[in-house]
Amino acid sequence: MKRIAILGSTGSIGVQALDVIKANPESFELEVITAHSNADLLVQQALEFKPNVVVIAREDLYEQVQQALQHEDIKVYAGSKALCSVVEMGTVDMVLTAMVGYAGLLPTIHAIKAGKQIALANKETLVVAGQLITSLAKEHGVNIYPVDSEHSAIFQCLAGEFHNPIEKIILTASGGPFRGRTAAELAEVTKAQALKHPNWDMGAKITIDSASLMNKGLEVIEAKWLFGLRNEQIEVVVHPQSIIHSLVQFEDGSIKAQLGLPDMKLPIQYALGYPNRLKSDFPRFSFLDYPQLTFEQPDLKTFRNLQLAFDAMERGGNMPCILNAANEVAVSAFLHDEVGFLQMSDIIESCMAKVAYIANPSYEDYVTTDEEARRLAAELINK
Ligand code: NDP
Ligand code: MG
């Protein structure tokens, strides 16, 4: 029995993780669930799954959640500090980080320091502070199991191969809803169009990141830290069908790939259940339904965010942190109709040029970098 804490149980990954836990009652026990604003769903999940602890990050919603659960044997906490303390509880074995954005960083640090195994969906954590997180994990003997489908694919390809050096990895990208568009066309795209991903149903922020290819950029940096790779060992190929989830090439030239229908439940279950493959009734993939699997180069000139992410990785230090903060602000502004699709890249590029560079950032440096980049990005938007 693995005792699980889900940070962000009300989100796209969180809800699917609860389905996985429900389908495998002999393997998992749900200990903690947390949400930010969606108190109604959090309460509904608590009543159904009976975890021992729930946390609502927004303190103004504490009363509502507490009232609704007052007759249950469930502890209710509120505030972002509570997120950091519940992951340290002795009754938790593994923490699934399914919160979105930079807010996932601090609770993940607390979980690692408490020696909890991590199932990592929150890629922003590794983008912002990959060096810090991976060295902390090493120090505390913590394994980080990827939930992101591409990284899960690579991790699955590495099973039995951990002693064999990787020559390179190839991350596949669907290309998103705007694959093949020109910059002039991208200038006109709407929020509604950007929110319609061809293959995956996900939270709003990652869906916009997928449309701009920033998601792939974040994943390149995520892969660098997860698998200890040099920058030049990471390639991206566009594969619109999203069937091959990623590939690893070894030093003998052999390439391994992991395939399946685009469904996040499988990588979630693999991370939670590792090292076991649990039986599932997820829909099965058939080659006959996909007679053509195709591949093309990503268009880095039109989709500038992917190039900016490669640049940030190349420069290292706090540059990916700047990229991430500016992107979070830009995506939120795009979702509020305050900037156009292409302006998101302008904002990120300006922040990367203007926020002070730090080659070897401490945790405090990440906090100030994040603040500074957010402030500058907001200023640029208001102009
Ligand atoms: P969603 O937006 O659907 O869900 C985000 C979750 O985080 C919600 O539970 C939300 O609570 C909570 N949350 C948001 N902000 C805060 C905050 N400041 N403090 C505490 N909790 C917060 O996101 P997704 O599930 O799509 O994505 C989650 C993470 O997983 C992201 O990092 C994403 O990149 C990654 N990922 C997602 C994939 C997917 O298929 N969705 C695939 C691969 C990776 P509430 O709902 O109450 O506001
Ligand atoms: Mg992914």
Q: Where are the domains of the chain?
A: 2-142, 149-260+287-300, 316-382
User: What's the gap in Å between 146 CA and the centre of ligand 2?
Assistant: 10
**pLDDT at position 200, please?**
84
What CATH number labels 316-382? 1.10.1740.10
Per-residue pLDDT of the chain (383 residues; tens, 9 = 90+): 999 999 999 999 999 999 999 999 999 999 999 999 999 999 999 999 999 999 999 999 999 999 999 999 999 999 999 999 999 999 999 999 999 999 999 999 999 999 999 999 999 999 999 999 999 999 999 999 999 999 999 999 999 999 999 999 999 999 999 999 999 999 999 999 999 988 888 999 999 999 999 999 999 999 999 999 999 999 999 999 999 999 999 999 999 999 999 999 999 999 999 999 999 999 999 999 999 999 999 999 999 999 999 999 999 999 999 999 999 999 999 999 999 999 999 999 999 999 999 999 999 999 999 999 999 999 999 98
Ligand 1 interacting residues, C-beta cut-off 6 A: 8-14, 35-38, 57, 80, 98-100, 103, 121-124, 148, 200, 202-206, 264
113 is in an annotated binding site: no
Sign, CA torsion 341/343/344/345? positive
- DSSP sequence for 235-287: EEEE-TT--EEEEEEETTS-EEEEE--S-THHHHHHHHHTT------PPPP-G
Ligand 1, atom 16, residue with closest C-alpha = 36
User: What's the gap in Å between 323 CA and the centre of ligand 2?
Assistant: 18
Name the CATH superfamily for 2-142: NAD(P)-binding Rossmann-like Domain (3.40.50.720)
